[in-house]
Structures are given as structure tokens and as C-alpha cells.
Amino acid sequence: MKISYHGHSVVKVETCGQVLIIDPFITGNSLTDLTVDELKVNYILLTHGHNDHVGDTVALAKKNNAVVIAPFELAKFLSWQGVKVHPMHIGGSHLFDFGKVKLTQAFHGSSYVDEETKTITYTGMPAGILLEVEGKTLYHAGDTALFSDMKMIGELHCIDVAFLPIGDNFTMGPTDAALAAKWIQAKKVVPIHYNTFPVIEQDPCDFIGLLDSNVGMVVEVGETIKL
């Protein structure tokens, strides 16, 4: 299995001939190395409905005939736009042909904002994603504040790599994310959701310095982790 980071909260997983992408914010993401035209995916996993996470989901799903896995309300909203969806909800899990997906809590908002019509569409509760593939477990926390049930997530799942937001303002900042990492007990922790916009600028190396030795890992845009 290969896992790669592509700026903001975009994570790609390649396993057994399947390509999964989480929160594909590509157009408008100055940090990413991906393009919608060149990206081939089988599944798109979404943590919540904000524009910088749904991103290019509809275009990618239609171009690739991909399935979108998302919280129920968000999945329903996207299905009305002509894409194939698999709706889920927090606490539920499902076994797909590539592996198992379980949605966890996340403390944040979830809505789709249309700036032209000045409308906000509620898209259900936000989520984190636990992904079990090839005997390994990946945790993508989505956009979230620190919450104490992260201890339970760490107790119930042996997490190989966790992707945690550190940008502050909209999500956890580095100090809270470091405590989250301690509770989750992942073997490797990768910072995400930082430096895309001025208000979430952070030095990821400072965050790594708050973690136990050999746990933190700054993954550059386009860099791959092999598990």
C-alpha cells in the first residue's frame, strides 16, 4: 500500500489496483501537485461538506465513474448532482473491495457554501475516517477540535498512521494536535490542514517537536509513505 499527501487535507491511498482519495480539494489549492484531468481514482472519501474538502469530488467522480463514500446527508447532496455514492454515518463501518471504512466523530461544521447565490447547504455531521487496508490502519481525523474520545479511538484501534490537522483557527492547533497524537497512540503522525491560507499558517516541524520521538513525520506534497 502506498499513501501520499497532496496539500491541505488531500491524502491518496493506492492498494491492490485501487486508488482512493480523501477530501480532494485540488482546484484552488495552491499547495497541491495534482490536477483533476490527470487524476484517476476508484473511490472518493469525504470527511465533511466544506468546499475545501469536497473540492473537485463531482468532477472526479463523473470522470472516473468513482464511488463517493461520505456521511449520509453529504452523500445524498452529491447524489443529486449525478454521482454514485455510498452513504455512511458516524460509528458505522462497511467492508468494501479495497478494505474496511469506519467513520468516527469529528467536532467541526459541515456545509456547502455557494458564494454566487449566497446560500449555505447543511451536509450533516462531520467525520473522521478509519481505513483498514492490507492489515494496516490509517486514521484521517478530518477537520476537528481536540475531543476526549480520541482516547477511545486509540484504545480500540491499532493505528499505523494518523493524519491530524494542525492549522488552528478552524481546527486543532499544534498543541491540541500533539495531545490528540498522544491519545491516539499511532505509530506515525502526519500533520495536515496547514499553510493553505494565511490564517492557518504553521511550521510543521514545530508540531513534530511536540511529539514523542520518532512518531512525527512531515510528509511533503507528493511524497509517498509505504506501509
Q: What is the mean pLDDT of each run of 10 residues along the chain (227 residues)?
A: 97 96 97 97 98 98 98 98 98 98 98 95 97 97 98 97 98 98 97 98 97 93 91
**Model pLDDT, residue 153:** 98
DSSP 1: -
Cα-based torsion angle of the residue sequence 90, 129, 63, 5 in order, rounded to the nearest 10 degrees: 160
pLDDT for residue 227: 80
- pLDDT of res. 212: 86
Distances in Å between the alpha carbon of 109 and those of 20, 106, 164, 184? 24, 9, 17, 22
Q: What is the pLDDT of residue 226?
A: 83
* Tally of domains in the chain: 1
What local confidence, expressed as pLDDT, does residue 47 receive? 98
Report the pLDDT value the prediction gives residue 63, as an integer from 0 to 100.
97
Range of the domain at 114: 2-226
Domain of 46, CATH number, reads: 3.60.15.10
